[in-house]
Amino acid sequence: MLIAICDDAPEDLELLVEYARRYDPGLAVRAFPSAKALLAAYPQEKYDIVFMDIEMEPPNGFEAAERLRREPDAPCIIFTTQTLNYAVRGYGLALRYLPKPIEYDAFSEALALALYERTPQKISVSSDSGTEVLNVADIIWFEVYGHNVCFHLRERRELQVRCTFSSVLELVRPYPFAQIHKSYCVNLGFVERAEQSNVRLTDGTRLPVGRSCLSSFRERLRNYLRGR
């Protein structure tokens, strides 16, 4: 995954690069002090995600985004701006607007959404017996017990794989999943009802929500329902 960050304010550029590396040190990040520099580099490097400042010397962020959108396999664009007055004009160009000053939480949520948009909607789980490829949309929830992870899938199918819970949590990080307990993780698209101490899923399953996971689960669910 290749990410470009374009901003003519050196301090903002440096901050967003640091945010991207904090989010995932394995991401390839390119920094550009102008839209002109980014557009010049684009033929050699096709970026998957572009964080684009709007208020820059010509070409500004809008103009650069319009050019990028005409490219085959155009990147996912997230505008950064001092004001949201530009939002209507940029409708259809950008996945998200981030008003400055940008906090890490807002940045990471936007990046997670962009990664979700750009990432194939499948995960592969390696085990002692081979590799299983799963459609993310089929996974309702999964749990760990012993050295196995059990995936509960649509049509009441189940799949057990010998692997670690943490490795699967990492695989689903770009997708709308939330860990609700030390042993359970749910697909937010299948949450039917969330209560203080448990969650009910569309397949009728009720699962406990651990106290340490409650706050982060509620936040993830709120953001998911808001389309963030």
What DSSP assignment string belongs to 51-74? Answer: EEESS-SSS-HHHHHHHHHTSTTP
65-89: average pLDDT? 80
157-164: average pLDDT? 91
Q: pTM of the prediction?
A: 0.57
Instruction: Summarize pLDDT for 168-213 with one digit per residue, the tens.
Output: 999 998 888 999 999 999 999 899 999 889 999 998 999 999 999 9
pLDDT band at 223 (very low <50, low <70, confident <90, very high): confident
CATH 2.40.50.1020 fits 122-225, yes or no: yes
- Cα separation, 121 vs 118, in Å, equals 9
Given the structure tokens 């400042």, which residue do they identify?
Answer: 53
Q: List the chain domain ranges.
A: 2-118, 122-225
Instruction: Summarize pLDDT for 6-49 with one digit per residue, the tens.
Output: 999 999 999 999 999 999 888 999 999 999 999 999 989 999 99
Per-residue pLDDT, 88: 43
Q: Looking at domain 2-118, which CATH architecture does it have?
A: 3-Layer(aba) Sandwich (3.40)
Q: How many CB atoms lie within 10 A of CB 132?
A: 15
- Tokens for 148, please give them: 């196995």
Per-residue pLDDT, 116: 77
Question: 131 near 193, Cβ under 8 Å?
Answer: no
Q: List all residues 6 or more positions away from 59 whose beta carbon is below 8 Å from its beta carbon.
A: 35, 36, 39, 67
